[in-house]
């Protein structure tokens, strides 16, 4: 959520996607961000916590978390009356693994076909995933994490979003430090 908020606000401040990035949109996005991987509750722990490389079959199972997440959000929040939030949470959960070049999943969407909220989430999610320790690997040094975003620019990530993220490295590092201070207590 910290990276998503920082990135969305910075994009708006710099005049990018201002027709979409309203204050309400950013608020909904920040509330939806923690739900992006909710579909992983349908993935067996033996796969989620596997210390080594996933088999092709296991990876296909993991990929289903996007569709499961969208379904869970739709079934859980669809009747609550906040349609804008529900739609955003659904889009973040379902499409955060789509790639700018169309080679992501679950639908192979490309470029602007991918909802803006999911494009922002994708950058934040990848940075978070590689900068934190996981059961299958240690956290990468922050410069390597930024290099991953840079290498994915215009392939995995919306180039505008990736560029802004890379231009605010100091703010991202401060957010990273803040997150790690809170989780280490």
The predicted-structure confidence for 134-171, as pLDDT tens digits, reads as follows: 766 788 899 999 999 999 999 999 999 999 999 999 99
Q: Any idea which of 70-84, 112-126, 127-141, 171-185 has the lowest mean pLDDT?
A: 171-185
What pLDDT shows up at residue 185?
41
- The per-residue pLDDT for 51 is 84
pLDDT at 176 over 80: yes
pLDDT tens sequence across 49-102: 888 889 999 999 999 999 999 999 999 887 777 889 999 999 999 999 999 999
pLDDT in tens, 33-61: 999 999 999 999 999 988 888 999 999 99
If pLDDT is split at 50, 70 and 90, which confidence band does 103 have?
Answer: very high
**pLDDT value, residue 80:** 75
Q: Is 90 exceeded by the pLDDT of residue 180? A: no
For residue 144, count CB atoms less than 10 angstroms from its CB and return exposed for 0-12, middle for 13-18, buried for 19 or more.
Answer: exposed
Report CA dihedral (129, 15, 103, 166) to the nearest 10 degrees: -40
For position 135, what pLDDT does the model report? 65
- The answer, yes or no, to whether the previous bond of 106 is cis (omega within 30 of 0) is yes
State residue 183's pLDDT score: 59
Nearest Cα neighbor of 7 from 152, 151, 127, 154 is 127
Asked whether residue 184 carries a pLDDT value surpassing 60, the answer given is no
Q: Is 145:127 a contact under the CB 8 Å cutoff?
A: yes
CA-based torsion, 142, 58, 154, 128: positive or negative:
negative
Considering only residues 78 and 29, tell me which one the structure prediction assigns the higher pLDDT: 29
The pLDDT of residue 75 is: 92
* Lowest-confidence segment of 20-24, 110-114, 138-142, 164-168 by average pLDDT: 138-142
């Amino acid at each position: 959520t910290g990276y998503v908020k920082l990135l969305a606000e910075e994009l708006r401040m710099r005049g990018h996607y201002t027709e979409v990035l309203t204050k309400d949109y950013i608020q909904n996005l920040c509330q939806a961000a923690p739900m992006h991987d909710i579909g992983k509750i349908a993935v067996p722990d033996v796969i989620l916590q596997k210390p080594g490389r996933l088999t092709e079959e296991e990876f296909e199972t993991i990929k289903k978390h996007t569709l499961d997440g969208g379904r869970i959000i739709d079934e859980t929040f669809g009747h609550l009356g906040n349609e804008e939030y529900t739609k955003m949470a659904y889009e973040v959960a379902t499409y955060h693994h789509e790639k700018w070049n169309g080679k992501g999943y679950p639908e192979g969407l490309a470029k602007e076909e991918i909802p803006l909220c999911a494009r922002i989430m994708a950058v934040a999610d990848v940075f978070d995933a590689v900068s934190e320790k996981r059961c299958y690997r240690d956290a990468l040094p922050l410069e390597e994490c930024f290099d991953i975003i840079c290498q994915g620019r215009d392939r995995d990530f919306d180039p505008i979003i990736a560029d802004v993220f890379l231009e605010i490295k100091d703010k991202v590092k401060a957010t990273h430090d803040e997150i790690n201070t809170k989780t280490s207590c």
